[in-house]
A and B are shown apart, each in its own frame.
Chain A
Amino acid sequence: MKSLHAQHHALADAGYQLTVLSQAEAEGARLPSFASQLRESGLLPLQPTGLSVMQINVGKMCNQTCRHCHVDAGPDRTEIMTRETMQLCLDALAATDIEVVDLTGGAPEMNPDFRWLVEQISALGRQTIVRCNLTIIVANPKYHDLPEFFARHRVRVVSSLPHFSATRTDAQRGEGVFARSIRALRMLNEVGYGVENSGLTLDLVYNPSGAFLPGSQAGLERDFKQRLAREQGVAFNSLLAITNLPISRFLDYLLETGNYAGYMDKLVAAYNPAAAANVMCRTTLSIGWDGLLYDCDFNQMLELPVHATAPQHIRDFNLEALLGRSIVINQHCFGCTAGAGSSCGGATV
């Protein structure tokens, strides 16, 4: 499967995605705007409450081409962060007390400077999260030692596994992905990840493999733990339930299958003011592969930069100006405020 970008698909254009999202609003004003919902909740303009997570997208290159990917990542994507831009991120990090650096992609491990970056973050005494797709660990011998490398730097590994059954997982992430993911999970368990009292954290990300919302995070976690332990002999720490946002390839899937209107209805009907108050963009700064700044990884993919009052590039990092900004919102934000809420850390309520 090729990325939308490689297919020259209309939805590869962020502007076109925003047009689709705003059309649903215009058609008979069927859906309320996200801004009007926030206003009713007393949250407009949405503003940061602090800055505790620097999320760096180190590139769109990936060994997988998942059907729901909001990044439109894949083997055919070549956009990748340089070491110079990484250094700018580290300079900003050193000048603040941001506790956590969340590395994402694509498959972040495919960036040739990935390990160097993790070492530098470690040297600054900050916590690194790696959003590891699991299969990268077994994709090539040069990645087989990633579990040991992660353990050495006490990296928190956060990995996608949409289901404990091969059918559901492979339907979303590609044929054979479940089996390879289980192999990688066993390798992570072998070095202590997910093992009680090891101090090495392995969290799994559940996101629905279709046009439905995630159920209770606690209930899903219990089922995943039981089934993965019993059937695969695999252990992990926590399950993070994440809602699919209607952008990029998931938006393509929704439109292709006639599920778009129904899915937006579900998101809007499930709007939860408590989840809106806890959205992750209030404590996160997202940095693109080219150093541009965004409120979240989804805004990054929609090419919606941070508000013009804030610095636009990591080289101009200014904590005070960033903390005073208004967060840029659009219709896709309904994905983070539905039900128990959704963030890169799972449910928020």
Chain B
Amino acid sequence: MDNATYYNPADLAKFGNITAWQQEMGSKFFAYYAEVFKEGALSEREKALIALAVAHAVQCPYCIDAYTTDSLQKGADEAQMMEAVHVAAAIKGGSALVHGVQMMNKAKELTM
């Protein structure tokens, strides 16, 4: 167990096993998931890039592996993938900074 980590890359392939303990919810989730990633108003490549950005925002190593592969498979290149990560970074950074307004409001409330 010396090499044990909280994240094991091999576990990604076992994602489908979650249905074993709750068949109905798990199956409905995967059916929904498959529907979401189908070509629609957005192309499959655009959806893969959104997923890649979200994967970085939620810092999910499984999702980063999965959607790096998927973005490549859907025809994205390095420039598009890195821009998607910057979108995630901008929103994460922006979401911290925009709370600065709340900080300013509160500080103004408390100060002379």
Listed in ascending order, the chain A residues whose CB lies under 8 Å from chain B are 163-165, 167-168, 206, 208, 210, 212-216, 219-220, 222-224
Contacts and interface: CB of A to CB of B under 8 A. Distances in A.
Assign chain B's interface to a size class. 10 to 19
Contact of A219 (B45, B77, B78, B79): B45
B83 interface: no
For B43, B70, B78, B79, the residue with the greatest tally of chain A CB atoms inside 10 Å of its CB is B43
B73 A212 contact: yes
Contact of A220 (B69, B75, B78): B75
B75 A215 contact: yes
A215 B77 contact: no
A212 B69 contact: yes
A145 to B, nearest CB: 33
A213 B77 contact: no
Consensus secondary structure, chain A interface? loop
A216 B69 CA distance: 14
Contact of B74 (A163, A210, A216, A224): A216
Contacts of A164: 77
B100 to A, nearest CB: 38
Contacts of A216: 39, 44, 74
For B39, B43, B45, B73, the residue with the greatest tally of chain A CB atoms inside 10 Å of its CB is B73
A130 B45 CA distance: 30
B72 interface: yes
Contacts of B72: 208, 210, 212
Interface string B32-54: 00000001000111000000000
Nearest to A210: B72
A223 B43 contact: yes
B77 A223 contact: no
B105 to A, nearest CB: 45
B69 A168 contact: no
A219 B44 contact: yes
Contacts of A208: 72-73
A315 to B, nearest CB: 44
7 closest Cβ contacts across the A-B interface?
A215-B74, A165-B77, A215-B73, A220-B75, A212-B72, A219-B44, A212-B73
Given A167-B77, A215-B44, A223-B75, 6 more contacts: A163-B75, A206-B75, A216-B39, A219-B45, A219-B75, A224-B75
Nearest to A269: B13
Contacts of A212: 69, 72-73
For B69, B73, B74, B75, the residue with the greatest tally of chain A CB atoms inside 10 Å of its CB is B75
A89 B39 CA distance: 44
Nearest to B69: A212
A238 B6 CA distance: 46
A184 B78 CA distance: 25
Contacts of A167: 77-79
A165 B81 CA distance: 13
B17 to A, nearest CB: 15
B74 to A, nearest CB: 4
A213 B73 CA distance: 6
B43 A219 contact: yes
A214 B45 CA distance: 12
